[in-house]
Amino acid sequence: WEGEFFPGIPKIKYEGPSSKNPLAFKYYNANEEILGKKMKDWMRFSIAFWHTFRGTGGDPFGAPTKVWPWEDGTNSLAMAKRRMRANFEFINKLGVDRWCFHDRDIAPDGKTLTESNSNLDEVVALAKELQGSHVKPLWGTAQLFMHPHYMHGGATSSEVGVYAFAAAQVKKAMEVTHYLGGENFVFWGGREGYQSLLNTDMERELGHMAAFLKAAADFKKKIGFNGTLLIEPKPQEPTKHQYDWDAATTANFLRKYGLLDEYKLNIECNHATLSGHSCHHELETARINGLLGNIDANTGDPQIGWDTDQFLTDISEATLVMLSVVRNGGLAPGGFNFDAKLRRESTDVEDLFIAHISGMDTLARGLRNVAKLLEDGSLDKLIRKRYESFDSEIGAAIEAGKADFEMLEKKAMEWGEPSVPSAKQELAEMIFQSAL
Amino acid sequence: WEGEFFPGIPKIKYEGPSSKNPLAFKYYNANEEILGKKMKDWMRFSIAFWHTFRGTGGDPFGAPTKVWPWEDGTNSLAMAKRRMRANFEFINKLGVDRWCFHDRDIAPDGKTLTESNSNLDEVVALAKELQGSHVKPLWGTAQLFMHPHYMHGGATSSEVGVYAFAAAQVKKAMEVTHYLGGENFVFWGGREGYQSLLNTDMERELGHMAAFLKAAADFKKKIGFNGTLLIEPKPQEPTKHQYDWDAATTANFLRKYGLLDEYKLNIECNHATLSGHSCHHELETARINGLLGNIDANTGDPQIGWDTDQFLTDISEATLVMLSVVRNGGLAPGGFNFDAKLRRESTDVEDLFIAHISGMDTLARGLRNVAKLLEDGSLDKLIRKRYESFDSEIGAAIEAGKADFEMLEKKAMEWGEPSVPSAKQELAEMIFQSAL
Amino acid sequence: WEGEFFPGIPKIKYEGPSSKNPLAFKYYNANEEILGKKMKDWMRFSIAFWHTFRGTGGDPFGAPTKVWPWEDGTNSLAMAKRRMRANFEFINKLGVDRWCFHDRDIAPDGKTLTESNSNLDEVVALAKELQGSHVKPLWGTAQLFMHPHYMHGGATSSEVGVYAFAAAQVKKAMEVTHYLGGENFVFWGGREGYQSLLNTDMERELGHMAAFLKAAADFKKKIGFNGTLLIEPKPQEPTKHQYDWDAATTANFLRKYGLLDEYKLNIECNHATLSGHSCHHELETARINGLLGNIDANTGDPQIGWDTDQFLTDISEATLVMLSVVRNGGLAPGGFNFDAKLRRESTDVEDLFIAHISGMDTLARGLRNVAKLLEDGSLDKLIRKRYESFDSEIGAAIEAGKADFEMLEKKAMEWGEPSVPSAKQELAEMIFQSAL
Amino acid sequence: WEGEFFPGIPKIKYEGPSSKNPLAFKYYNANEEILGKKMKDWMRFSIAFWHTFRGTGGDPFGAPTKVWPWEDGTNSLAMAKRRMRANFEFINKLGVDRWCFHDRDIAPDGKTLTESNSNLDEVVALAKELQGSHVKPLWGTAQLFMHPHYMHGGATSSEVGVYAFAAAQVKKAMEVTHYLGGENFVFWGGREGYQSLLNTDMERELGHMAAFLKAAADFKKKIGFNGTLLIEPKPQEPTKHQYDWDAATTANFLRKYGLLDEYKLNIECNHATLSGHSCHHELETARINGLLGNIDANTGDPQIGWDTDQFLTDISEATLVMLSVVRNGGLAPGGFNFDAKLRRESTDVEDLFIAHISGMDTLARGLRNVAKLLEDGSLDKLIRKRYESFDSEIGAAIEAGKADFEMLEKKAMEWGEPSVPSAKQELAEMIFQSAL
């Protein structure tokens, strides 16, 4: 393969909201400062190698639909390298600085672990070179779900041999992520869960998972990798129940097994909604638990019960997402990874660009809306006012854990029937919408 | 009101599976021993005063439908006492030993807290007398959701006056529960959550909730109440999001705020399914976290997105519920509370009996099935066999937290491609069904 | 009650998008022309009497929270009249021309049907007077769900006496709607469905429902009422299954029983999503079946499984709704009824105005966006281009029903492997968002 | 491949409920007479070739897990024939008389339609021979969803070339089904729907679908195929919205386009629950519309939002399914097709047998329960009694369409407040359970 992979596509530029050019940014202006930081530093966008370069359009009822011109139909090492070059051309044309990968996406499985590792090394060496000085992985991860030997899980497999194999694979993936300058390392436990409780020892499996994650945290320190370890909650699919169901479930697991200081969370919006929560709820839950580390930027379909991994184009949702990010003071060393894929029926090379531009612009538009909201200030004021009765002496005593039931009963008797003002939700919604 | 409340209804007896009598037990035989305990000691059934004696059949689109003959249309103290006598006749005819109540179900709200407390005292004195020597509350609780002043929550209200009022109310409810010999005290936070994140300071509210529950635990000790404090998870309804979403979320909350040793969980099957889990999953999650304290025995409708509180009649679900209970060594001092109500269209007095008999029989049938399953032993054997590779030296090292990634990688290299046997889920399902 | 009901609230005016005044329109400018029609003629807004004047904030777990100053705590005729005057002040201050009502909302139930009818007549006479020359009902309807005798349904009750009673009630409600100059009459079959198939003869009930609706259509003609009869689909709640599940189910019913020419549909967005469809899907389904007659303008919560009847504030959804309306050439003689209520916790009188202003502005904003989309034209062009292969000779033969399998097979053989271009969904989403 | 495909598996026999042999029937006794018919004539079981012989265990996140010993890793014609021999050994050992297939399951796609047809002919000739005198297809169907050229649909593709190709494929599939003595022909429109309304002309697509199905019905008659044409409703997956959403939606489509006499429905339980209905509801809806033609016997998971196609093992659900079948007088010429697959983790050859035995036994147990219910008679009696007020003169007038609103109003006035007895749902549930 000689020359460009995307010959018709220029370097994507910011043209502003009035532009009709699908291959230009209308809201994302990387170096523009918003709320005291450059847009690119708020966003820290990353391309997901798997969706963008390994997504085939296959689904449970359909064969692959995407035939990118640079693909030769093989899973060879040579093809893996060519694909990696396409990845970096894509990254550079889009103007982002980060990428994410699974070990088995970027290099083919070998017949043995040794061969797989060697394949990986070869592709990683090329990636290192292509990264140059300004690009690096937002995070790496190990693919512990595709291979049939992971059918019962990796860390939670009923087979000790699989547990060991998974450990070896994570070890290597962590090493190469470190080598590439990755800023985080992610665990997505797609097979860490159960299909049926009838044949499962859930307690034993959870214990194994904790042991595995403890060993991972130990190994990280051993090799001097300073990146954040992240767990990505998802309620189900492919399993009936995934142990990392949602942010609160994962936080409970981390607390129970003494892993709270070692891990943070990678919140995915589509996973949030599959677990019955809004994305904003999951982000706030992670933030409040001190665990918001990264965002998988995508969206689902409110009427669909599986993971559709669509590019986020909803302005309102993007504004709420950015509200959590701003409250968190940003996401660094995490960022926004586009864990989003083209629809199966979108088969033009340019669709890859259009989708990413649209996703980036939507979040950028969200950030601009948050700036408007904060500058206006009336929503914050409304909230502060709601709770002002707790800014009192007795409120302070309660918040300090010093108000016992006897004292409170005395106060209640003294005060009589309490007053309860309107929550002003419709007003809050009106103010919020006015910033969109 | 003179004489019997349920004149046509005899004391309900066990007549065995071939009986066609709707007013007889076919499976529940209180003193029969199953798996080493009397059935009544496994079940510890309790009647929910609110559904059985205060349920009106009203719904968001419909007026009350139930006009029990003993009701006079008022919410007077006299009526409250008459109703309490009906309750004990019901309990005695049904042959159970426990009941559950909210403070405001059994006695009318007064104009002031003092008056409400005095009303409560009067009814409680009668209840104490009617309990006699063998009946007592499985648990009491405070109703912190019906009154308009709780519209923003009790412990999580934005108003400090409401927080204090709620504290005073719980204090009193705990005192009367203690006085009546109650074995547990429950918190159901129906209004402890949010309707919209736009006008909510979730972090502050969670902090208030923790302070409240801490004060409750302190007060319990102060008055020498040895009952278990229980939190009842529910994902939503009436709020959009309830802070006690499910067992794992509540466990995370308890761990985060240092309350893990003070509280257990009251799992309700209908709440489980509303949160996206099977009831069995929630029971197992509570059990594994050491938190399974009580069960609200009901069921929902798999196609309905709100709480229907139906009597459980599904044999398969009942068997799974009893499997968790048996694994837990029983529920004492907790039990099974029938948090279940007649359908709105069921308006005969005898329907109250039919529904409870059906619910009790279903769980009893579940227990009998569990006994069959355990005696047969093949399901347990299937599970143990699945994990037997962990009963090895390396498995033991892993489970002891002594297997690091280097050692595991060495093993993985040495062992080569791991084998993964069939999970035999269909066989497990066949074995399970054969016990039904 | 003397003087104004809403003393602090002025007549609501259009102030444009930059206004920060919660009591002003920012997008709805009644007489402004958009796409060839005045905004008010596109929207035909209507106030729902039940939510706005009879909504109490009660929910299945909570007592009423709203205590409007003009309410005296009774359900008397005098109170009904006072409330009606408040309604018309509200309508006039908001600047709309239509209202909707249930018979039992506006006048109290009597002890007999005769008394109920007489109560209704008295209030209706006042309403007629207050309507003046410019206001009239968008539609009237009969409340066949609140009274306990409707617990098994009205037209589908198992009791023939209830069927007759429901017929008499609809007869009267239709008469008063006609008298008031109502433009439509609606059937919402909240209780026309089942709670359990175990005790239901669904076929017989459906037959009764058809007979009832046939008799209603006959009666309409008899009295010279030219308004449209509308059925409002809803999947469930309060019943487990409502016979008018969604637009397609209702269309099937109308076709099966020969009622297709007599009825149209009133689509409610919250009902759409409860049935597993987007609101836009239900509108398009109704439109394609020639049945789009009216819209109940509200929204639900994507994470909630019951009817929340919130005011629509989502700009994207509003734009899609207006797209269907514009394609339908408007809704007249139907319109937009605000079947939406304040949150239970919104208890200020001004919240009633804020909520309606917000809902009206959101739909107005949607209409403005549709105008932008149509003027831009690229989305329509994208769709037309997708199907252009059917604008061929063979395409025409297919669409005319003249292409048989032999002919098509011959073509397929001749043409060889068909080409399938990208569906360009991400581009369509980008174009759509650019109009928001 | 020489000799047996399932060497360790004997011909499956009936051993009765006390048998612990996983490879024996405990409830299905083919020639035993129940309710006047042999069990095998009620059930008319069929094996789904695709799941049983082409199911690989692959899922959206995982590679195939099943490596049946007779597979050689190719998709050759020789392999197709070997697989067909395995199919008939399986059928014979299981003791069923019917099978179902997609054209592309049983024979490989060729490079051209001609080659595909020729491959199909070769395999079909072998199947015809292997069928012998007693086995035949319950139904055949064309696979219009796997190939990338069907990504926008077959009959509803935006490309006319694809429409023609689909027509040619259905034509051939219908011919071979006819040749093999198939009793039905099925349409499952997995891709006939939309992913987004933004780029879809739904009305035009629906028109194309109707034209296609009309042409199919014409072709059927032309070749003298007397089998029933069946449409299989499914709400979604792989598309966001499938045009054959549920039974009522499909019935509406058939009525609208004049196809009601040409098609019946193939109801799948897992599709029913995905559309928000119980399986029993969908069966009853199809039955009442005169459209119940066949059942795809499987089940889903109440907590899972995609098609899991599990073998039905729930006794209660099976009893309800059989209740509809018995009310329908059986399903012939339709039957029960096992559209169910092994879990991905079930990888033993014997699991194929265990799963089918379990599914067959469950339905047989359902039939036995229905016999008990009908013999007992109390459930039927309860239902008849509920509606007995319609067995009156006025009831008859209503049901004959002769009761107008004036007459009904007169009756309502005359009768006064109607009485409404209890619906006795809990009693109905108790009676139902007692038959399980």
Contact B150 C195 (CB under 8 A): no
Residue C234 belongs to a domain: yes
Place of tokens 């370069």: A53
The CA dihedral of B244, B248, B249, B253, to the nearest 10 degrees, is 90
Selected residue of B151, B270, B310, B347 to mutate for chain C interface (largest C Cβ count, 10 A): B151
What is the model's pLDDT at position A67?
92
Residue A167 belongs to a domain: yes
Whether the predicted pLDDT of A228 surpasses 90: yes
The CA dihedral of D23, D27, D31, D33, to the nearest 10 degrees, is 180
Selected residue of D420, D426, D431 to mutate for chain C interface (largest C Cβ count, 10 A): D420
Give the chain A residue whose CA is nearest to the CA of D302: A240
Place of tokens 């019901």: B90
What is the model's pLDDT at position A1?
78
Are the C-beta atoms of residues B216 and B229 closer than 8 Å to each other? Answer: yes
What is the model's pLDDT at position C380?
98
User: Considering only CB atoms, which chain A residues are within 8 Å of C424?
Assistant: 346, 348, 351
Is the domain of A318 the same as that of A413? no
Task: Provide CB contacts within 8 A for D226, sequence distance 6+.
Answer: none
Is the domain of C358 the same as that of C407? no
Residue B250 belongs to a domain: yes
Residue pLDDT, tens place only, D340-384: 999 999 999 999 999 999 999 999 999 999 999 999 999 999 999
Residue pLDDT, tens place only, B253-282: 999 999 999 999 999 999 999 999 999 999
What is the model's pLDDT at position D1?
78
Peptide bond into B69 cis (omega under 30): no
Active-site choice (B102, B152, B208, B271): B102
Minimal CA separation from C425 to chain B, in Å: 31
* Chain A from 52 to 81: CB within 8 A of any B CB: none
State how far the Cα of B220 lies from the Cα of B175, in Å rounded to an integer. Answer: 9
Q: What are phi and psi of B87, to 5 degrees?
A: -55, -45
Contact A358 C429 (CB under 8 A): yes
CA angle D25–D31–D37, rounded 5-degree value? 120
Catalytic residues of C: 102
**What is the interface pTM, i.e. ipTM, of the complex?**
0.97
What is the model's pLDDT at position B222?
98
Residue C410 belongs to what domain range?
389-434
What average pLDDT does this structure show over B361-370? 98
Work out how many domains chain B is built from and give that number.
Answer: 2
Contact D60 A60 (CB under 8 A): yes
Residue D1 belongs to a domain: no
Residue pLDDT, tens place only, C244-291: 999 999 999 999 999 999 999 999 999 999 999 999 999 999 999 999
pLDDT band, residue B242 (cuts 50/70/90): very high
pLDDT band, residue B2 (cuts 50/70/90): confident
Contact D430 B278 (CB under 8 A): no
- Using CB atoms, pick whichever of C196, C238, C240 lies closest to residue B59: C238
What is the model's pLDDT at position C1?
78
Q: Taking Cα atoms as reference points, which of B105, B106, B96 lies closest to residue B128? A: B106
Is the domain of D113 the same as that of D190? yes
Q: Which CATH number belongs to the domain containing residue D314 in this structure?
A: 3.20.20.150
What average pLDDT does this structure show over A254-264? 98
Contact C420 D235 (CB under 8 A): no
Task: Provide CB contacts within 8 A for C264, sequence distance 6+.
Answer: C228, C229, C230, C231, C286, C291, C292, C293, C294, C334
Bridge partners (DSSP) of residue B292 are: B265
Is the domain of A28 the same as that of A148? yes
Residue pLDDT, tens place only, B161-178: 999 999 999 999 999 999
Which amino acid is residue C298, in one-letter code? N
Q: What are phi and psi of D21, to 5 degrees?
A: -75, 115
Asked if B419 reaches chain A (Cβ–Cβ under 8 Å), the answer is: yes
Identify the three-state secondary structure at position B98. Answer: strand
Take residue A5 and report the two structure tokens written for it.
């992979």
Is the domain of D401 the same as that of D371? no
Is the domain of B388 the same as that of B406? yes
Residue ranges, chain C, pLDDT below 50 = none
Element of type H or E holding B292? strand B292-296
Minimal CA separation from C426 to chain A, in Å: 6
User: Considering only CB atoms, which chain B residues are within 8 Å of A158?
Assistant: 386-387, 389-390, 423
Minimal CA separation from B254 to chain A, in Å: 9
Burial A48-83 (b: 16+ CB within 10 A, else e): bbbbbbbbbbbbebbbebbebeebeeeeeeebbbbb
Take residue A240 and report the two structure tokens written for it.
């009936």
Q: Got the DSSP string for A61-78? A: TB------TT--S---HH
**In this prediction, what percent of chain D has a pLDDT beyond 90?**
99
Residue pLDDT, tens place only, A292-331: 999 999 999 999 999 999 999 999 999 999 999 999 999 9
Q: What are phi and psi of B387, to 5 degrees?
A: -105, 10
Element of type H or E holding D357? helix D349-376
Query: Please, what is the average pLDDT of chain D?
Result: 98
Is the domain of B383 the same as that of B372? no
What average pLDDT does this structure show over B341-367? 98
Minimal CA separation from D353 to chain C, in Å: 33
Asked if D343 reaches chain A (Cβ–Cβ under 8 Å), the answer is: yes
Selected residue of C151, C234, C241, C307 to mutate for chain B interface (largest B Cβ count, 10 A): C151
Bridge partners (DSSP) of residue A231 are: A187, A265
User: Considering only CB atoms, which chain B residues are within 8 Å of A321?
Assistant: none
Is the domain of A401 the same as that of A261? no
Q: Taking Cα atoms as reference points, which of D172, D213, D166, D215 lies closest to residue D191? A: D166
Take residue B200 and report the two structure tokens written for it.
């909510």
* Chain A from 253 to 312: CB within 8 A of any D CB: 274, 301, 303-307
Is the domain of D356 the same as that of D404? no
Asked if A36 reaches chain D (Cβ–Cβ under 8 Å), the answer is: no
- Using CB atoms, pick whichever of D200, D276, D420 lies closest to residue C276: D276
State how far the Cα of B7 lies from the Cα of A431, in Å rounded to an integer. Answer: 61
Give the chain C residue whose CA is nearest to the CA of A26: C434
Contact A345 C276 (CB under 8 A): no
What is the model's pLDDT at position A2?
80
Q: Which chains touch A (3 or more CB pairs under 8 A)?
A: B, C, D
Place of tokens 């009203």: B58
Whether the predicted pLDDT of A155 surpasses 90: yes
State how far the Cα of B301 lies from the Cα of D290, in Å rounded to an integer. Answer: 27
Identify the three-state secondary structure at position D403. Answer: coil
Asked if B337 reaches chain D (Cβ–Cβ under 8 Å), the answer is: no
Is the domain of C307 the same as that of C429? no
Burial B418-434 (b: 16+ CB within 10 A, else e): bebebbbbbbbbbbbbb
Selected residue of B194, B260, B287, B409 to mutate for chain A interface (largest A Cβ count, 10 A): B409
Selected residue of A51, A54, A56, A61 to mutate for chain D interface (largest D Cβ count, 10 A): A61
* Chain B from 382 to 411: CB within 8 A of any D CB: none
User: Considering only CB atoms, which chain B residues are within 8 Å of C304?
Assistant: 236-237, 240, 305
Q: Got the DSSP string for D245-287? A: -SHHHHHHHHHHTT-TTTEEEEEEHHHHHHTTS-HHHHHHHHH
Asked if C206 reaches chain D (Cβ–Cβ under 8 Å), the answer is: yes
CA angle A389–A390–A395, rounded 5-degree value? 125
Report, in this order, helix, strand and coil percent for chain D, each rounded to 5. Answer: 45, 10, 40
Longest distance between any two alpha carbons in chain A, whole Å: 84
Take residue C26 and report the two structure tokens written for it.
């920012």
Is the domain of A297 the same as that of A424? no
Is the domain of A67 the same as that of A187? yes
State how far the Cα of C121 lies from the Cα of C144, in Å rounded to an integer. Answer: 18
Contact D195 A343 (CB under 8 A): yes
Element of type H or E holding D337? strand D336-338
What is the model's pLDDT at position B1?
78
User: Considering only CB atoms, which chain B residues are within 8 Å of C236?
Assistant: 303-304
Q: Taking Cα atoms as reference points, which of A68, A110, A109, A67 lies closest to residue A85? A: A68
What average pLDDT does this structure show over A149-177? 98
Residue D325 CB coordination number (10 Å): 25
Q: Is B235 exposed, middle or buried (0-12, 13-18, 19+ CB in 10 A)?
A: buried
Contact B191 C62 (CB under 8 A): yes
What is the model's pLDDT at position D2?
80
Place of tokens 């059934």: B45
What is the model's pLDDT at position D311?
98
Q: Which chains touch B (3 or more CB pairs under 8 A)?
A: A, C, D
Q: What are phi and psi of A24, to 5 degrees?
A: -145, 155
Residue pLDDT, tens place only, D265-295: 999 999 999 999 999 999 999 999 999 999 9
Report, in this order, helix, strand and coil percent for chain C, each rounded to 5. Answer: 45, 10, 40
What is the model's pLDDT at position C2?
79
Residue C5 belongs to a domain: no
State how far the Cα of A331 lies from the Cα of A350, in Å rounded to an integer. Answer: 29
Residue where one domain finishes, among candidates B334, B355, B376:
B376
Residue A206 belongs to a domain: yes
Residue ranges, chain D, pLDDT below 70 = none
Q: Which chains touch C (3 or more CB pairs under 8 A)?
A: A, B, D
Residue where one domain finishes, among candidates B343, B376, B409:
B376
Residue C147 belongs to a domain: yes
Residue pLDDT, tens place only, B32-45: 999 999 999 999 99
Residue A4 belongs to a domain: no
C-D Cβ pairs (cutoff 8 Å, strict):
274
